Amino acid sequence: MTPFTYERASDAGSAVARVTAHPNAAFLGGGTNLVDHMRLGVAHPELLVDVTRLPLSRIESLPDGGLRIGAGVRNSDLAVDRTVRERYPVLSQALLAGASGQLRNLATTGGNLLQRTRCAYFQDVTTPCNKRNPGTGCAAVEGHNRDHAILGASEHCVAVHPSDMAVALAALDASVVVLGRQGERRIPVIELHRLPGNAPERDTVLQHGDLIVAVEVPALPMAVNSAYYKVRDRASYAFALVSVAAALEVRNGQVADVRIAFGGIAHKPWRALRAEAALRGSPATAESYGRAADAELADARPLQYNAFKIPLVRNTLRMLLGRLNHGGRS
Amino acid sequence: MKASITLRVDGEQRSLTVDTRTTLLDALRENLGVTSAKKGCDHGQCGACTVLLDGRRVTTCLSLAVACDGATVTTARGLAPGGTLHRVQQAFLEHDALQCGYCTPGQVCSAVAMLEEVKAGHPSYVTEGLTVPAELSDEEIRERMSGNLCRCGAYVNIVAAIREAMRQGAAP
């Protein structure tokens, strides 16, 4: 591990100023991804500014009925929060589907959003990777790409975003509150992460020194009927092959409103706006769900080893919406 | 860069100077000689290094020691003050819930914290209904313990031991 200076931030503003002023500084949250990357040689920060002791650990109700989640709230605490469990079950389930009990006790809300891809080539410094080392090429395009993207990828990068929580937040129309040089601003979660394009080294639209201080989830009453389903190679403690976050409201057998996001298939949590549009006003049937999935997946471009993800996403969406329509798992 | 930190480890106040690169796991094992927490994968994937940090289970291989300054750490050793085994440790012995034993201290710490989480009414990914207290079925135990790998494959007996420890903990 490259030597580094460690500092503990006294307040969010000075943390931002400190990291902004140092081109090779990074914020330290739970460390479950960053510390690993430092050990693997993927990241070499010279200055770590620890933000875990800032007063960003509260979950508060907003006047409009929404929820403000401090960026320092640990994944385990957010998952079991009473309001989240009752009103946003999709978020609770997504968090509980991620990592392990030990890691969820460390991982923060802000850090979870900013965790980096688990593409094996990205994490292996002996291989080419445009995300880790721009311009060196992508080993995954012609390599072992079973875990990789089917939507929104580029010739430069086919990695997927690994977060479960972010998929739920994308479905819930959540925003991140970002503190930067110019003060505070809000970014919808679905616009926070980028598609790789020509610059896969940039995971998000954030600038160096920007600090996520909170996530805001709107009231969204329909989210009371929402769920997260994660498909993986083993029953637990693995990243998603594909995952689906959904909220469904059915009236008189018709889809009145719906929210859908997919995980494990793109460089960002994939909000399925086309599928949602196809479903609104349609009969709440397996046929409609399947057609909605087809609409979203029309542009899918599978790689050599991951074409299975197309039917897997389609089937998982059909199953999950079916459950939500029949008062299955909350 | 060096940093001076203080940790309360298994009931004892310890002061030490660490390189900022030192993980909590290495600080425990190399600086303080507390070898109860084991180094398995060193990447947060196996759970062998699990301890209770301020009462919550965490992997120590991904935490920087300097960031834990002031924390209270309980390892499997600290769960048996004076050699009196914790009921989870006793249950592991009685159910033969180990073979080589390397993952056991992490399994035990994880199980102790997990039973507290269940007592607090926390759901898991396999819990039916997030707001109803979970019955601790074998499926629940497996899900909640999935962060602790056992390469000997003693899982069947680990589940049995935890079931037993939970039953004893629930008794008056």
Nearest alpha carbon to residue A173 among A287, A280, A83, A90: A90
**Dihedrals phi, psi of A19, to nearest 5 degrees:** -70, -40
CA dihedral B83→B88→B93→B94, nearest 10 degrees, is 120
Report pLDDT for B171: 59
CB of B57 within 8 Å of a chain A CB? The answer is yes
Q: In Å, how far is B85's CA from the nearest CA of chain A?
A: 23
Q: Residues A36-95: pLDDT tens digits?
A: 999 999 999 999 999 999 999 999 999 999 999 999 999 999 999 999 999 999 999 999
Radius of gyration of chain A (CA): 19
CB of B22 within 8 Å of a chain A CB? The answer is no
How is residue B70 written in tokens?
Answer: 């002031």
Of B1, B43, B123, the CB nearest to A4: B1
The class that CATH gives domain B2-75 is: alpha beta
Strands B72-74, B2-9: pairing is: parallel
How is residue B5 written in tokens?
Answer: 């930190």
Do A6 and B1 make contact, defined as CB atoms within 8 angstroms? Answer: yes
- Count the helix, strand and coil residues of chain A and give each as a percent rounded to the nearest 5: 30, 25, 45
Ranges in chain A annotated CATH 3.30.43.10: 5-50
Please give the ipTM for the structure prediction: 0.97
Q: Residues A230-252: pLDDT tens digits?
A: 999 999 999 999 999 999 999 99
Query: What residue segments make up the domains of chain B, in order of their start?
Result: 2-75, 83-170
Tell the CATH topology of A53-330.
Answer: 3.30.465
Other C-beta atoms lying within 10 Å of the C-beta of residue A83: 14
pTM: 0.97
How is residue B132 written in tokens?
Answer: 């109803």
CATH superfamily of domain region B83-170: [2Fe-2S]-binding domain (1.10.150.120)
Residues of B in contact with A82 (CB under 8 A): 131
The class that CATH gives domain A5-50 is: alpha beta
pLDDT interval class at A328 (50, 70, 90): very low
